Chains A and B, each alone.
Chain A
Amino acid sequence: MDSFWSKLLILGIVAAIGVFFIGNVYAPQRSAQEAMADSTQQSVNAVKMGVEDTAPMIVKGDAIISTVNQYCTSGNTVDIIVKKSSNTYTFTNSTSTSSNQSVTTIADISKHYVRTIEKAGTQIVSITFVEQ
């Protein structure tokens, strides 16, 4: 009988702790978390909206590599164009150009590039990087 009452007591204590946790830790923390996330997301959106998608952005050469890796797979229709002095390199379905030059040899990670995005309506047509 002793064991029954002690187990019941433990169950009661655990249930009380559970209710306390849900009411005083979990629920307020969740609503605070949502408020923090909303406020931060609004700040991020405000900054992003301040800069148009098609605005010229200054990036380093590693951005070319990650853009080509992201877009240039089979079936891709977005042209990634890299302009270096008088040369122009285009990537579409592969991370190499038609003359077999890899993006890692073309993009110089120490150099600055200006990236512009060309759109037709909402669809991206091409992304151009011009070396500075």
Chain B
Amino acid sequence: MQNFWAVLVVLPIFTWYSMFTVLDRNYNLAQQDVENIVYRYTQIAAKKGVLYQSVLEEMEKQLSKYGEYEIYISAEKFLGNDEPTVIEGWDAVDVGLRAEGYDLLNVTVQYNKHHPVSILYEYSVFGAQNSKSYNLTLFGKASSYIR
């Protein structure tokens, strides 16, 4: 009976810390991976001066392992005015960005689902709720000069 009570106290604490360690590590690794993928393909597109649809699809293939996401693409052209000329979305795909004088390519990826680590960030091991709520999602952002 003494063992039962000891286990009842220790087991939830052990489970909570194990889950926290695993989920926190999972979030950080996945986040790093997403950032690397976005950075790598933005560099490729900027170097080529075109974001080909095939390159976008290859990037998406790698991003899809973490769930549903959305991509924001924009290219900026600086002509000495206060506001740069910007093209967004599909208008920046399969277009000769270098040939058209665009200077900067930006790619942002946002995942739609909240990562489960958000819940563990909100509660302590004893169930006490944090004063703030967290909505952590995976994301990646990269900008590159079109060389």
**Whole-angstrom distance from the CB of B113 to the nearest CB of chain A?**
10
Alpha-carbon gap, A46 to B118, bound state (A): 17
- Provide the bound-state CA to CA distance between A44 and B118, in Å: 12
Q: Is the CB of B60 within 8 A of A60?
A: yes
Beyond A57-B70, A59-B71, is A66–B108 a contact (Cβ under 8 Å)? no
Q: How many B residues, CB 8 Å from partner?
A: 35
Main secondary structure on A side of the interface with B: helix
* Interface residue A121 (Cβ < 8 Å from any Cβ of B): no
- A48-65 residues at the B interface, CB under 8 angstroms: 48, 50-51, 55-60, 62-63
Within 8 A of B (CB), among A65-87: 66
Q: List 29 A-B contacts (CB under 8 A).
A: A26-B125, A26-B126, A34-B121, A34-B130, A37-B118, A37-B122, A37-B134, A37-B136, A38-B132, A41-B136, A44-B139, A47-B110, A48-B110, A48-B139, A50-B108, A51-B72, A55-B72, A57-B89, A58-B70, A58-B72, A58-B90, A59-B69, A60-B64, A62-B68, A63-B68, A63-B112, A66-B112, A114-B89, A132-B93
